[in-house]
Amino acid sequence: MAEEFDLVVIGGGSGGLATAQRAAEHGARVALVESGRLGGTCVNLGCVPKKIMWNAAELGSALSDARDYGFNIPAEIDAGVIDWAVLKERRDAYIHRLNGIYAANLARHKVELVRAHASLTDPHTVTAGGRALHAPHVVLATGGDPVVPPIPGAALGITSDGFFELTAPPKRVAVIGSSYIAIELAGIFNGLGADTTLVLRGERALRNFDAMLGDAILTVLREEGVQIATGVALRSLRRAAHGALELEAAHSQSLGPFECVLWAIGRVARSADLGLERAGVALNGEGFIATDLYQATSAEGIYALGDVTGRAPLTPVAIAAGRRLADRVFGGQAGRHLDYENIPTVIFGRPPLGTVGLSEEAARARFGPEQVRVYRSGFVGLYHALTTAKPRSHVKLVTAGPEERVVGLHVVGQGADEMLQGFAVAIRMGATKKDFDDTVAIHPTSAEEVVTMR
């Protein structure tokens, strides 16, 4: 006999948790099915542990900067002497605590947690752990997995998942990819003392973002000592006789030796064993679950959100989409859905890169070249007034139309991660360049550049 619920959620990541809890707040009887750790990629293998590692790398750099400010720090104290095992132990303990908090939150909302693998039997029945869970509404929020390239020896490398399993820092590492994950992990490895090489298939990084961001971060990475290999067509990864890893590329090009090779070349939907075909759920051309404006799939009553859909694969996006879905279906808020325009995001490179709205290229394509005006600023932040390193920060403001409505903001530099949230609100509300100009600057900050550009 099937057990009856109002909603069954498959996947206990950020999006699934948010959907289940909001639906329960509206009075729905909800079951959430998850076979792994609660919190999904973000909490266990993504945003949260990544930010902790990024913080560690930033602290390592701060030790060097402190000397330039006159602190008497012994020469032997630097980022290279970090106790990686202690860092990992404390990071993992924090994540384990979060797993428990998520379970407690589900219990507090009276969401039934089913610890099992789930699959669809039909559009309204989910089989999990020998139980049949029936509901008029089913949400698929199973996330994604990192891609490993189909080349000989690829299994000798690791992915971002494996990065968090490392028990000791590698001395020489290659990060393969041009995405934000590649940029972040290359910066972290380098900041924690590894001899790091970033390997790009093309010439640019962050191709899906404004060109300024990719150009600027490659410049900074080079200045920080990261080797950048561009135009590399990889053919294989092999372990040499001396035990180290070597990358073989076209035209007899060889890179290495490395202790660790990390693949950061993209992610795929985790949907292969969900029984989508039994429920009539269609995939798009890239293998993600196809959804409409309301997160609805091709099957009546089945919805999908988060990384499994491939749409803006960011934790806050999955949370926002799930809450709006629950508000509409169970909260009586007809028409409520997530607006995928003007989503702010930060790439935790070193320094961080923040972006919201359209790139310059996208703005010109949408509004026409003659309707777009761009403002730029480049400067060395005051933090680096006394430091040996002089990384440049960059700000780009993209405006459209005669009123110069701000349609894009892109920032590279210290503090970009924090300043973007407030500016994203202004841009979403339709702020113009004059609105920015009429806002009194906070001095001395990097953020003031956004409201003082001419």
SS3 418: helix
Distance CA(160)–CA(141), nearest Å, equals 20
- CATH number for the region 154-265 comes to 3.50.50.60
443 given a catalytic annotation: yes
Cβ 186 vs Cβ 226: under 8 Å: yes
Residues 6+ apart with CB under 8 A from 392: 216, 219, 378, 379, 380, 413
Which tokens go with 186? Answer: 């290359």
Cβ 423 vs Cβ 395: under 8 Å: no
Which tokens go with 77? Answer: 């104290």
Which tokens go with 156? Answer: 């000798």
Q: Which contacts of 103-111 are long-range, i.e. CB under 8 A and separated by 24 or more positions?
A: 103/38, 105/17, 105/21, 106/17, 106/20, 106/21, 106/32, 106/38, 109/20, 109/21, 109/24, 109/25, 109/30, 110/24, 110/30, 111/20, 111/21, 111/24, 111/30, 111/31, 111/32
- The torsion region of residue 415 among left (phi > 0), alpha (psi -120 to 50) and beta comes to left
- Report the half-sphere exposure of 386 (CA within 13 A, side-chain side): 10
**Type of residue numbered 329:** V
- CATH 3.30.390.30 residue ranges of the chain are 345-451
Neighbours of 255 (CB within 10 A): 20
- CATH 3.50.50.60 residue ranges of the chain are 3-45+86-145+268-330, 154-265
- CATH number for the region 345-451 comes to 3.30.390.30
DSSP 420-441: HHHHHHHHHTT-BHHHHHTSPP
Of the chain, the end-to-end C-alpha distance in Å amounts to 69
Rounded to the nearest 5°, which phi and psi values hold at 395?
A: -130, 135
Classify residue 76 as exposed, middle or buried by CB count within 10 Å of its CB (0-12, 13-18, 19+).
exposed
CATH fold, domain 3-45+86-145+268-330, is FAD/NAD(P)-binding domain (3.50.50)
Q: Where are the alpha helices (DSSP H) in 135-224?
A: 160-163, 180-191, 211-223
SS3 376: strand
pLDDT of amino acid 79: 46
Residues 6+ apart with CB under 8 A from 425: none
SS3 53: helix
Cβ 213 vs Cβ 354: under 8 Å: no
Which member of 26, 242, 394, 443 is catalytic? 443
Cβ 6 vs Cβ 23: under 8 Å: yes
DSSP 244-284: -EEEEEGGG-EEEEESEEEE-S-EEES-TTS-HHHHTPPB-
Which tokens go with 363? Answer: 């703005």
List the chain pLDDT tens, one digit each, 454 residues: 899 999 999 999 999 999 999 999 999 999 999 999 999 999 999 999 999 999 999 998 998 899 999 999 877 665 457 899 999 999 999 999 999 999 999 999 999 999 999 999 999 999 999 999 999 999 999 999 999 999 999 999 999 999 999 999 999 999 999 999 999 999 999 999 999 999 999 999 999 999 999 999 999 999 999 999 999 999 999 999 889 999 999 988 999 999 999 999 999 999 999 999 999 999 999 999 999 999 999 999 999 999 999 999 999 999 999 999 999 999 999 999 999 999 999 999 999 999 999 999 999 999 999 999 999 999 999 999 999 999 999 999 999 999 999 999 999 999 999 999 999 999 999 999 999 999 999 999 999 999 999 9
